[in-house]
A and B are shown apart, each in its own frame.
Chain A
Amino acid sequence: MTARNRELLGLIPASLLVTAGFAGVFIQRSNALSNVSLTYGALFLGLCIAAHVFIRLTLPRADPYLFPLVAVLASFGLVMIYRISPTLARQQAQWFVLGLVLFAGTIILFRDYRKLERYRYTIVLVSLGLLVLPRLPGIGYAANGAYLGVRIPGLFVFQPAEFAKIGLVVFLASYLRDTRQVLVQGGRRFLGVTLPPLKQFGPVVVIWGLAMATLVVLSDTGSSVMFYGGLLAMLYVATNRLSFVVIGLIAAAIGFWYLGTHIPHIHARVETWLHPLNPRLYHAPLGSYQVANSMFAQAAGGLFGQGFGRSALSLPAGGALLPFPQTDMIYAVITAELGLFGAVAVLITYLMFVARGFKTALLARDSFSTLLAVGLSAMFALQVFVIVGGVTRVIPLTGVTLPFISYGGSSIVTNLVLLALLLLISDRARRPA
């Protein structure tokens, strides 16, 4: 069977999921199966097949599992969002269409994605600029204490950190491709540990400082952890020097410790993470209400969940029981309604996507492609870890999206671009030499 036929077959689970999911929500809502659910399923399936045909035409050798896995996640996300708010689901579907357009655009424009290397400094500057945008007066705004969004009045709202994610990975892949040899060989050994040469390591230090600055200026812990983790992952793959990672982790630990104890709003975050069930923190503004109710929602889910559409999201008197169910807390909604089994199934789907990304990195024949695939996959995995880890209290809760599932235009569009890049790398890697 060819790769593309496997991909086509791989879309069957996604289409079944979306149809069954919508049917489930409808039954729950009105006790009657409406044909709208079938329409939704058919439309979504049509979009997926269109994308599949496009991949078949442009990237015939690309990894056959990446796109079906995304389709499963996106269809699942659409059903979850539909269950939370049909209006948001329609918007999300529109964003999905726009994302597919950009996906196609990326594939056509960057067929030879290696030309991205030429613009790496432009890309990194634009990315950094994007990161600072939410702090600019007039267009930037704070949500939930963090400066994550940019609002162009009357036009749209977007989260620049999502776009910056890809830009930073492209830059690092290109930069590390050039300097990896020097980083390894030019290093000095000190107390048995290889220290990297300062000159080439400089930009890496800059990124570290940037991650910390992001944390302080934008209070966006999630993105900061994601960027920094992605940096370390790429640095490790590029140099195969564990010492660099250890040094990086120690530096980060010191940074996080300092900020966590000295910056009041970050300290508050840490407190709510450690003591979410403390009544004082629970009732405090921006306190642990969200984290505590995430835990309560998961406890209500148990092994099998309460069923689609059956968990309480808001209080009868009005007000949110689970704040931000469609973005930050969507994993808690999934766990509440589908239980531990449903949640683990979602995590495994993500892990399979990441595994295919790493597989692509292994197959790639040049360092830039490998580093790019590793960076994109690692960043994607870290994003899942940061938000799910926050919701499940592995780490303090921060506001990043759950890729392909959370509501959010920026997220779905950038992650489809990320998918396009992985498919491009994969297609090139699998071309006969």
Chain B
Amino acid sequence: MSTPIVRLFAVIVLLFALLVLFTSRWTVFQAASLNNNPLNVRTLLDELQIKRGRILAADGTVLARSVPAPAHTWSRTYPTDGLFSQPVGYSIAAQGRSAGLEQSAGPDLRGVQTGLSSIFGPLSPRPVGNDVYTTLDPKAQRTAVSQLGGRAGSVVALDPRTGAVLAMYANPTYDNNHVDQLAPGQSTFNNSTQAAWPPGSTFKVVTAAAAIDSGKYTPNSMVNGDSPKTISGVPLQNDNNQSFGNIDLTQALTFSVNTVWAQVAEHVGRGTMTDYMKRFGFYAKPPLDYPPLQIRASLPVAPNGRPYPPGSPNEDIGRIGIGQGGLLVTPLQMAMVVAAVAHHGALMKPHLTDKVVDQDGRTVRTIDPTVLSQVMKPSTAQQLSLMMRRVVEEGTGTPAQLGGISVAGKTGTASIGAPGSGLTQPWFIGFAPADNPKVAVAVTVALTHGGFGGTIAAPVAKAVMQTLLAEGK
């Protein structure tokens, strides 16, 4: 009976080899994919043991910090009571959920875990993450909150010279300390970066940039501003069906003449318009240091809800040129538009993070300003700035005037809801000081009964710019 016994043992050795093989499969060969499986909460539990770094405002106000939780774990608390819920987001490691900077700056906040330290993990001390200093300004943020006064809408303020996000606030909001207990009407949806709103006439800034920079127009070019005009086979009217006769582009911008800008957009052409929109950042998610899932690209959308491919022959470029025609944008994108004009036509990459500092106070990383694209020639930007100053000095944007400081801007009043409902979405985009821009803002209030950009949004923008300039930004 010895031969079958030896063979039987060989079979058992093979079976055990199979066990070794499968153990190595999970421990080594497929370990990475198992560790990253969304069902796997172990990685998150490990994270609970890490004391994540703080998130701070530009002035050093603590926006997020770790507090000890039971069983050697840490949890996050947000001392500003929801003021910065949207940009900061939240991190609930126990549930593996995170949003905002808490997610996008996660690797910095957790600190670097090298491969070696994971092998010798049991021997090394508990890891501590790095502090993330943001560019956010608490005073401006508070001004945005009080100015919006609970109305749905958004305020985004950028430093046009660097792309730093100075303020980012939207309604509805939530308290990031209580993500699981949202009160009625609260939302974690960030309207500043995720909304799909028609920009109204603020988009005429893009059309004007394309018209002048492409050399097809100058600020003095004369265009007939009568109403109505047939655009894409359908009559388009000015506000109150007012006819302006032959006017130049500066006047057409100052008084936001729809028929002029629709004709300009048609004449500039679909290709050139699309090209300039892309330079401003349309058609792509703004490269903010923020979770891409919480950012929406601004672009024209067909009636069936699908985005038009860039330069699609089906889109109504004349109406897109005045912010209609299915164009849907985020407040962040409109802030980028106005910041590019303010900064000699150079669009800076927007960023929330200023620097990363380790627990010993050493600066690990500083975010250097980066040019995202040169949207237009500096001379074009200069001409456009002068036109936009006229809007605030004598046009639709006079409520944005800051005594003693020149402001450039553009209003917008998008009609929303059913035709004839009278519902509008007022906008204002602008920058100041106009001759040496330090702040650029985009403001919108999502829904009013007949409110205008100049009367509703411009005062909010004015207050936010005033706060920021008073702080010496």
Contacts and interface: CB of A to CB of B under 8 A. Distances in A.
Nearest to B20: A344
A374 B71 contact: no
A282 B38 CA distance: 11
Given A306-B121, A394-B19, A240 B8 contact: no
A362 B121 CA distance: 47
A312 to B, nearest CB: 5
Interface stretch (B10-18, B366-374, B416-424): B10-18
B42 A237 contact: no
A240 B121 contact: no
B27 A302 contact: yes
Contacts of A388: 19, 23
A164 to B, nearest CB: 21
A148 B20 CA distance: 28
B28 A392 contact: no
A378 B8 contact: yes
A385 interface: yes
B26 A307 contact: no
Contacts of B19: 347, 384-385, 388-389, 392, 394
Interface in B1-54: 1-9, 12-13, 15-16, 18-20, 22-28, 30-32, 34-35, 37, 39-42, 45, 48
Contacts of A310: 121-122
Contacts of B24: 340
Nearest to A282: B39
Interface in B93-147: 94, 119, 121-122
A51 B212 CA distance: 98
A237 B8 contact: yes
Contacts of B7: 236
A335 interface: yes
A237 B73 contact: no
B39 A277 contact: yes
Interface in B37-79: 37, 39-42, 45, 48, 69-71, 73
Nearest to B3: A240
Given A236-B4, A236-B8, A240-B4, A351 B13 contact: yes
A350 B16 contact: yes
A351 B25 CA distance: 20
B12 to A, nearest CB: 5
Contacts of A355: 9
A285 B462 CA distance: 58
B27 A301 contact: yes
Interface in A289-320: 292, 295-304, 306-307, 310, 312, 315-317
A299 B31 contact: yes
Contact of B42 (A233, A236, A296): A296
Contact of A317 (B12, B32, B94, B119): B94
Most buried by A among B24, B30, B69: B24
B94 A316 contact: yes
Given A296-B37, A344-B20, A381-B12, A302 B31 contact: yes
A358 interface: yes
Interface in A355-369: 355, 358, 361-362, 367
Contacts of A371: 1
A358 B5 contact: yes
Interface string A378-392: 100100110011001
Nearest to A393: B22
Interface string A49-72: 000000000000000000000000
Interface residues of A, number: 53
A378 B28 CA distance: 29
A258 B449 CA distance: 70
Contacts of A300: 35, 42
Given A312-B42, A316-B71, A358-B5, A385 B15 contact: yes
A354 B12 CA distance: 9
A279 interface: yes
Contacts of B28: 302-303, 340
B8 A358 contact: yes
B41 A315 contact: yes
A172 to B, nearest CB: 14
A299 B30 contact: yes
A238 interface: yes
A107 interface: no
B9 A354 contact: yes
Interface in B68-92: 69-71, 73
Contact of B1 (A238, A296, A302): A238
A168 B247 CA distance: 104
A304 B123 CA distance: 13
Q: Give the most central of B18, B19, B119: most A CB within 10 Å.
A: B19
A296 B35 CA distance: 7
A343 interface: yes
B18 A295 contact: no
A394 B35 contact: no
Nearest to A389: B19
Given A236-B8, A237-B1, A378-B8, A340 B27 contact: yes
B1 to A, nearest CB: 5
A252 B27 CA distance: 31
Given A282-B39, A296-B34, A370-B1, A394 B71 contact: no
B16 A358 contact: no
6 contacts: A299-B30, A321-B41, A343-B23, A344-B20, A347-B23, A388-B23
Interface of A: 233, 236-238, 240, 277, 279, 282, 292, 295-304, 306-307, 310, 312, 315-317, 321, 335, 339-340, 343-344, 347, 350-351, 354-355, 358, 361-362, 367, 370-371, 374, 378, 381, 384-385, 388-389, 392-394
